[in-house]
Amino acid sequence: MPTYKISFSSLLLALFSGALLPLALAPFTLWPTAIFSTCTLCFLCRGQGIRGVFALSLIFGLGLYGVGASWVYVSIHDYGHAPPALAGLLTGLFALGMALVFALPLALFGLFRHAPPATLLFAFPALWVLGEWFRGWFLTGFPWLNIGYGFIDTWLAGWAPLFGVLALSGIAAFGGALLSLIGERKQHKSLIDYSLLILLMIFAGGAYLKIKPWTYPTGKRLDVALVQPDLPLLEKWNDAELKQILVNFQQTNETLLDHDLIIWPESALPTLQGNISGFLADIDSQLKEHRVGLLTGIPSNTASGNYYNSVIALGRASGAYQKRRLVPFGEYVPLEHWLRGAIAFFDLPMSAFSAGAPQQRPIHLGTVRIATAICYEIAYPDLLARDARDANILLTVSNDTWFGDSIGPHQHLQIARMRALENAKPLLRATNDGITAIISPRGKVLEKLPRFQAGILKTEVAPYSGSSPFSRYGSLPIIGLCLTILTVLRLFRRFR
């Protein structure tokens, strides 16, 4: 296909297909949309050079993040007190920045502009996967809106414990690239037929793998209580409310002393750990007397002056966890010297944290090991996989109040489901105002609490032993495969 100029209609179609892609994810879960959107982008980019592919991918990414991450506006406007115009501008700049990061790897698709369809069919999904991986670590990473999450309830989910969410994204992008060739079936009948057969075999293989047990329950089932306090965010950090919060914390725990483990969400206690050390010591003694473990989110600090977003263990539980991946502006302010104090958004509560140590020991409840992730850390597949190898239970605590009544909390829950599936371990999710949930090792939501309601989710959870292939190797196999595909395709073109 010869190189051609990009028409306005092509740019408009790229924007529309990018904006449509979030429909494949929660809460909509219309997964065929992912194949349609990637098909459209692949079709538009065929025959384009690097600049053309970059431009089309940039517009596509603008639609993707403008719609899929629209909840950023809620955080900036509702809780950062930015005027609507400024909040809209900052949200737009965020979407543009993410669109740039989205477009950079895909621009390399332009290197194959004169390649035959067989080459394009494998180059496009390989670059898509590498693009999602790139967005997961570049400038600390924002691994959100990966299209593989939309397939968690399909047969493709069976591949997640082997290769992770990136593999599901790659399969979806392969399906999109294949669909973009359907109009040329007469010229490339054999290629399309064989590719369809490969795709069907992949789906069938996923159906088989979906029922394969990678891990197994071990030991006594635990009686667990997850507390969803539903505290208004702006009131929560008001010092005048702290006394009542502590009273509610103590009284609620006293009603749950017949459980093995009590879990409170991120920053459930909105003050520094050192400020209420006596109060925590009393709670700790009471819990030990009844042989109950408790985990709660609370800010902590050290003598060196560093502050951490932490989860601490009391009673029968032991250990602590400090958040490693911080949210820009929410937990630390880039270019702080210039931005701090400029507007209220740059002075949000808890926006002066330090990152915890890269390697941390798991929290223990007796012999049960618990791997922990705080808030959007759950979106980093390899971060949790390293901790999940030897853990028996996965835990994530969050304060999704920042998302408001948007699609953000639903996307967040879907991401947590994928982490449980990848590592084949049960996952406990405690949030301030929803969605608090119990997730099975197969990524299924077993029980949950409704949003914007205070409540306690009581259930039994079995610890699991063993590890999935993804827990052991992470994303390295799928990344290595994609790099190998691109290298072979490029060398093959050169030798020809």
Q: Is 5 a catalytic residue?
A: no
Q: Which of 323, 331, 377, 482 is catalytic?
A: 323
Classify 246 as helix, strand or coil. helix
DSSP secondary structure letters along 417-446: HHHHHHHTS-EEEEESSS--EEE-TTS-EE
Which is the catalytic residue, given 132, 266, 331, 377? 266
Does the annotation mark 212 as catalytic? no
Helices (H), 46-116: 50-68, 72-74, 84-106
Question: Which residue, among 312, 357, 308, 311, has the nearest Cα to 331 in the 3D structure?
Answer: 308
Gap between the Cα atoms of 45 and 431, Å rounded: 42
| Cα gap 150→165, rounded to integer Å | 10
CA pair distance 116, 277, nearest whole angstrom: 67
3-state secondary structure of 377: helix
DSSP string computed for 182-240: GGGTTTTHHHHHHHHHHHHHHHHHHHHHTT--SSEE-SPPEEEEEEE----HHHHT-GG
8 A C-beta contact, residue 368 and residue 390: no
For residue 54, give the 3-state DSSP assignment. helix
Tell me which of 42, 45, 375, 482 is the catalytic residue: 375
E strand or H helix that includes residue 393:
strand 393-398
What secondary structure letter does DSSP report for 299? E
- What is the spatial distance between Cα 386 and Cα 475, in angstroms, rounded to a whole number? 11
**Angle, helix 189-209 to helix 117-135, in steps of 10 degrees:** 40
323 has catalytic annotation: yes
Residue type, 184: E
Residues annotated as part of the active site: 266, 323, 375
